[in-house]
Structure 1
Amino acid sequence: MHPRSYHRIEIRSTDDRHLPIDDLEQRGEFWRENAQYTLGVKLLQKPNTNVAKNVIMFLGDGMSIPTLKAARVYLGQLHNESGEETVLSFEKFPVTGLSKTYCVNKQVPDSACTATAYLGGVKSNEATIGVTAAVQLKDCDASLLEENRVSSIGEWSQAKGKKTGIVTTTRITHASPAGVYAHTAHRDWESDSGDAPPNCKDIAYQLVHEDVGSKFNVILGGGRKNFLPKTAVDEEGDSGTRIDGENLIETWLKSKNKSKAKYVWNRDGLLNVSNDTEYLLGLFEGDHCKYHLDADDKEPSLAEMTQAAIKLLSVNNQKGYFLFVEGGRIDHAHHDTKAQKALDETIEFHKAIESAVNMTNEEDTLIVVTSDHAHTMSVSGYGNRGNDILGSPGIADDGLPYSTLTYANGPGYREQIDGKRPDISAENSRDKNYKFPAIAPLLSETHGGDDVAIFARGPWSHLLTGVIEQHVIPHIMAYASCVGDGLTVCNEAI
């Protein structure tokens, strides 16, 4: 790993160790030593060709490359640093690549078709999950055909006797986590209260009743309402949505029979789960988990959920595990053009990955960090080093300030006043719910079509380099961990 803190470059010789960083950076030797050291570290890196006993996939929903840039600056500035040189935990991983994002039928993708790609290894149509592109939106009958169904790396891992887990800050039935276990012709069929035909089971039902979903050892996220009937009220006073009258939480507990199964609904419950728990279901909100900036101490952080999952999946486990962890609310904040919340959720994601790194061994655990799609936020202007990332980099040609963080479209659009842009200097851009400026008016900001980054460490991580199609990612993870029916390190010939 590079010998630098998260916030400042720390390489100093004996003669200049007392000089402030700003003075050091004016010296060419400072940068040359830094570069030579980094070169030396990279020359020492060797491919890890062990079998990956464990695989952890971290998915930052909507975590575009500009989001990474802005988040690292934001993190640094939270620590009273300029921020540009800050390093997020996963940015220290030795391997990076780019993933191409699109649906079979869409130039810019959604979280459903991308989940099918990065978890199932097959590209599909927009808003469909766990099915091939032969299934059109809402085509229930086509989604039931076995030849149109796509299995995920979660299922491949279960077939090899590995434990499996899902962690998310969204509803556990939302598009990204559903990609691990569900097959549906519409991502919105999360509960039977939707418009799905009766013969197409909703996503919550599939998680509890069907073969793959029912085998998950750890399930942590939001979305209680989709598991409870409309006549029921959950622990926090919210009503369920189900019209079939079934309490899927009770069904899940009963289905575990004599196994040591536990259901929890708040942070205290999660932190007090015993280590011998074999199956854990944690639903911490009726809907999505709260944003970190809005949450209280009753709701666990993404890092705490990740730690609990790794701990339980590791107990008495010789065959290893597959764990999917989603920082899902980065995406939601971007849709609302609430950039500060998007950056804060990215920092929470960074903390969760840091926890996983500290709890696992790089020799036998492959960790892959990526995103499903981008967003339209840009980082622009010629602001001075250390300029407030949530502020303005300068004055535009019309004599008014503009924002460093700007969206191509969305609810942050401001109408002109007397033919002029509004003066944003009168606005409080540091309010956590501030909507950053957008060029075109839309109720919800759109995704971006950019490639997204891949960061990896552990066995066979070196295969995740270059520019690759998104659907290749699970095939590489499967190769490293010897699961699935394709080429693996355990079976060099198909």
Structure 2
Amino acid sequence: MWLQTQAPQHPESRLATAGSQEILNNSAQAACSAAGTLVSRVSRLPASLSSRHPTGMQGAWVLLLLLGLRLRLSLGVIPVEEEDPAFWNRQAAQALDTAKKLQPIQTAAKNLIIFLGDGMGVPTVTATRILKAQMDGKLGPETPLAMDHFPYLALSKTYNVDRQVPDSAGTATAYLCGVKANYQTIGVSAAARYNQCNTTRGNEVTSVMNRAKKAGKSVGVVTTTRVQHASPAGTYAHTVNRSWYSDADMPDEALKEGCQDIATQLISNMDIDVILGGGRKYMFPKGTPDPEYPNDASQNGTRVDQRNLVQEWLAKYQGAQYVWNRTALIQASQDPSVTHLMGLFEPADMKYEAQRDLTLDPSLTEMTEAALRVLSRNPSGFYLFVEGGRIDHGHHAGTAYLALTEATMFDDAIDKASQLTSEEDTLILVTADHSHVFSFGGYTLRGSSILGLAPSKASDGKAYTSILYGNGPGFALSQGSRPDVNESQSMDPAYKQQAAVPLSSETHGGEDVAVFARGPQAHLVHGVQEQTFVAHVMAFAACLEPYTACDLSPPATSTDSTNPGLTDAALPRPAAGSLSLQLLVGALLLLLSATH
């Protein structure tokens, strides 16, 4: 039954509200209380936040959105036309017409971009679609993500050679090098054994990025994790242990046998033009104070060999520049004399998007645009790896809010790259390395918060959230049974969704992941493929080894290398009224949850 409310309605629409008078009455009472709390809390916002939060109607919408999220009421409306079969028939016919007109781009690709959502399984993609739309005041599932607009799609089988459920190291070797590998090994074939240094030599495999560099293209790595982490390391490193970030992390035996830590390989294995992410402490001598946290010894440099890898890297290139904060990144990326750019913005992984320092830390979107500015100056084209790496970390923590807000920023970066490059000469692939044991269900009402409760109770008489994990830190018992959960708890950004099995860290999932594609040769992305297929499609599209005899027409020249399709304006800077809706909602939720 659809309830009538006192809210004004469009004559041809209906509110997507809860399905019982009791829920509506309870929600109305809660709304009064929550509204009063919100008003008082917002009036007490710290100056650092209040000076940046939206005002006027935008601020009002944020408050309404927050109420809607907390009360499981949709702020969107379900159009009455959706009751008419003609609506759906017309929509499907339009999609069919678009598909019939779709023409593959048969030329070679000048530029290659791979976006890697670490841990972004299909359930995460769907939940991100809903959350991102709801943050914009819409119902959710009907509003496409940027990646949803890509015309070609496939599924990728993610297993490692020795594991049915994989890790990010072995999978990185597959989609970046085209060869499946063993669990926790990077850039080596399955003949190499985990943690056995002497099995490395002779079993190295070559990444597509390395092949692009040999072909004369500029190359770059962008990530929200440390740049020495498993996924980005797959573009340049060869190691039998993904955790060998610096020499301090390696056993003496491995060092004596000649194996190198990943940070050393970052600057020595190949000429990388752009390196952006976290991981400062692995680049500096042990005890070197961090520029951002000089009084925190735990953030100091870690290198036992006392090498300063940043200085060594700078000495290799006349136009090289190193930065460690957002302002310097913006300036360096716009300086035409900068040919090589390294930006390391945290000692280890970068902060979650919801917790990011807007002054010091660039967003993934900003790093992506900065990388494109530098790389696009090469008339021969470029290869760029971009990772939304902390989607995975949010899931491991059992905290869906963190994982999904990371994924919304990841999609924003995809949207930016799509705007700044031409589909005629740039192949963009979007995929994941693996999934997680993350799910959402419970017959929730359309428009209800993806982070909220299911509309009915479980068999034990207790409420449960739509989002649940198969295992992880969210497992808990209260007097021998699972605890009850209320709306205030489930909407807390720090809330860990309940899990069936207790683990300190939630695990990966083993199901296939999606591969989205647009640009030259994107039509080759089809069906169900081994994860190695991703690397081979990219190599073939740009006529790189082993496909130099690809017999493709030269790349389109729609991108002017002197003005490579990028915006003329400076990268966005934080200013009054420019705080993202996602961040403001997160901040308000954190403030509101403090009373519970």
TM-score range (shorter-chain normalised) is: over 0.9
CA distance in 2, matches of 1:398, 1:74: 28
Contact 2:453–2:487, Cα closer than 8 Å, also in 1 = no
1:338-365 CA-partner distances (Å, limit 9, x unpaired) = 1011000000000000000000000000
2:272 alignment counterpart: 216
Alignment-mate amino acid for residue 343 of structure 1: L
- Greater helix proportion: 2
Question: Cα distance, 1:488 vs. partner?
Answer: 5.2
CA distance in 2, matches of 1:234, 1:340: 29
2:366 alignment counterpart: 304
1:37 alignment counterpart: 94
Which range is displaced more, 437-446 or 23-32? 23-32
CA distance in 1, matches of 2:141, 2:249: 46
Alignment-mate amino acid for residue 233 of structure 1: P
Contact 1:276–1:312, Cα closer than 8 Å, also in 2 = no
Question: Do residues 175 (structure 1) and 234 (structure 2) align?
Answer: no
Question: Which residue, out of 521, 533, 544, partners 1:483?
Answer: 544
Question: Cα distance, 1:231 vs. partner?
Answer: 2.2
1:67-117 CA-partner distances (Å, limit 9, x unpaired) = 011111111111222111121101110001100011100000000000000
1:232 alignment counterpart: 288
Question: Cα distance, 1:486 vs. partner?
Answer: 3.5
1:81 alignment counterpart: 138
Question: Do residues 270 (structure 1) and 270 (structure 2) align?
Answer: no
1:338 alignment counterpart: 399
Contact 1:158–1:164, Cα closer than 8 Å, also in 2 = yes
CA distance in 1, matches of 2:156, 2:287: 44
C-alpha root-mean-square deviation of aligned residues, in Å? Answer: 1.4
Question: Do residues 260 (structure 1) and 315 (structure 2) align?
Answer: no
Question: Which residue, out of 134, 152, 157, partners 2:212?
Answer: 157
Question: Do residues 23 (structure 1) and 80 (structure 2) align?
Answer: yes
Question: Which residue, out of 428, 434, 457, partners 1:395?
Answer: 457
Contact 1:275–1:311, Cα closer than 8 Å, also in 2 = no
* Residue correspondences, number: 467
1:358-386 CA-partner distances (Å, limit 9, x unpaired) = 00000000000000000000011111111
Which range is displaced more, 428-437 or 150-159? 428-437
Q: Secondary structure at the match of 2:248?
A: coil
Contact 1:232–1:239, Cα closer than 8 Å, also in 2 = yes
CA distance in 2, matches of 1:59, 1:32: 35
CA distance in 2, matches of 1:165, 1:182: 14
Which range is displaced more, 362-371 or 270-279? 270-279
Question: Do residues 289 (structure 1) and 357 (structure 2) align?
Answer: no
Which range is displaced more, 324-333 or 228-237? 228-237
CA distance in 1, matches of 2:108, 2:11: 46
2:520 alignment counterpart: 459
CA distance in 2, matches of 1:379, 1:209: 44
Question: Do residues 104 (structure 1) and 161 (structure 2) align?
Answer: yes
Q: Which structure's CA Rg is the greater one?
A: 2
CA distance in 1, matches of 2:11, 2:110: 46
CA distance in 2, matches of 1:369, 1:356: 11
Question: Do residues 127 (structure 1) and 189 (structure 2) align?
Answer: no
Question: Which residue, out of 474, 485, 503, partners 1:424?
Answer: 485
Contact 1:191–1:227, Cα closer than 8 Å, also in 2 = yes
Contact 1:478–1:488, Cα closer than 8 Å, also in 2 = no
Q: Secondary structure at the match of 1:305?
A: helix
Question: Cα distance, 1:18 vs. partner?
Answer: 8.2
Question: Which residue, out of 438, 446, 457, partners 1:385?
Answer: 446
Question: Do residues 184 (structure 1) and 239 (structure 2) align?
Answer: yes
Contact 1:480–1:488, Cα closer than 8 Å, also in 2 = no
Report runs of 4+ in structure 1 exceeding 6 Å deviation.
Answer: none
2:380 alignment counterpart: 319
CA distance in 1, matches of 2:340, 2:267: 12
Contact 1:115–1:175, Cα closer than 8 Å, also in 2 = yes
Alignment-mate amino acid for residue 402 of structure 1: Y
CA distance in 2, matches of 1:352, 1:275: 23
Give the fraction of aligned pairs with identical amino acids, expressed as a percent.
47
Structure 2: where are the runs of 5+ without partners?
Answer: 1-9, 14-77, 554-596
Question: Do residues 60 (structure 1) and 114 (structure 2) align?
Answer: no
Contact 1:481–1:488, Cα closer than 8 Å, also in 2 = no
CA distance in 1, matches of 2:224, 2:352: 8
1:11 alignment counterpart: none
Distance 1:76 1:43, change over 3 A: same
Alignment-mate amino acid for residue 322 of structure 1: Y
Contact 2:227–2:279, Cα closer than 8 Å, also in 1 = yes
Q: Secondary structure at the match of 1:424?
A: coil
Structure 1: where are the runs of 5+ without partners?
Answer: 1-16
Alignment-mate amino acid for residue 162 of structure 2: N
CA distance in 2, matches of 1:107, 1:269: 44
Distance 1:18 1:40, change over 3 A: farther
CA distance in 2, matches of 1:419, 1:309: 53
CA distance in 1, matches of 2:182, 2:237: 15
Question: Cα distance, 1:52 vs. partner?
Answer: 0.2
1:24-73 CA-partner distances (Å, limit 9, x unpaired) = 11111111111111111111001111110000000000001000111111
Which range is displaced more, 428-437 or 218-227? 428-437
Question: Which residue, out of 345, 359, 369, partners 2:420?
Answer: 359
Contact 1:479–1:488, Cα closer than 8 Å, also in 2 = no
Question: Do residues 118 (structure 1) and 175 (structure 2) align?
Answer: yes
Q: Secondary structure at the match of 1:25?
A: helix
Contact 2:162–2:183, Cα closer than 8 Å, also in 1 = yes
CA distance in 2, matches of 1:88, 1:272: 30
CA distance in 2, matches of 1:263, 1:332: 27
CA distance in 2, matches of 1:65, 1:79: 21
Alignment-mate amino acid for residue 361 of structure 2: E
Question: Cα distance, 1:487 vs. partner?
Answer: 6.4
Contact 1:231–1:245, Cα closer than 8 Å, also in 2 = no
1:184-221 CA-partner distances (Å, limit 9, x unpaired) = 010001100012411101000011123x2xx1110000
CA distance in 2, matches of 1:483, 1:186: 28
Q: Secondary structure at the match of 1:395?
A: coil
TM-score, L = length of structure 2: 0.77
1:166-192 CA-partner distances (Å, limit 9, x unpaired) = 000000000000000000010001100
Question: Cα distance, 1:159 vs. partner?
Answer: 1.0
CA distance in 1, matches of 2:367, 2:205: 28
2:498 alignment counterpart: 437
Contact 2:453–2:490, Cα closer than 8 Å, also in 1 = no
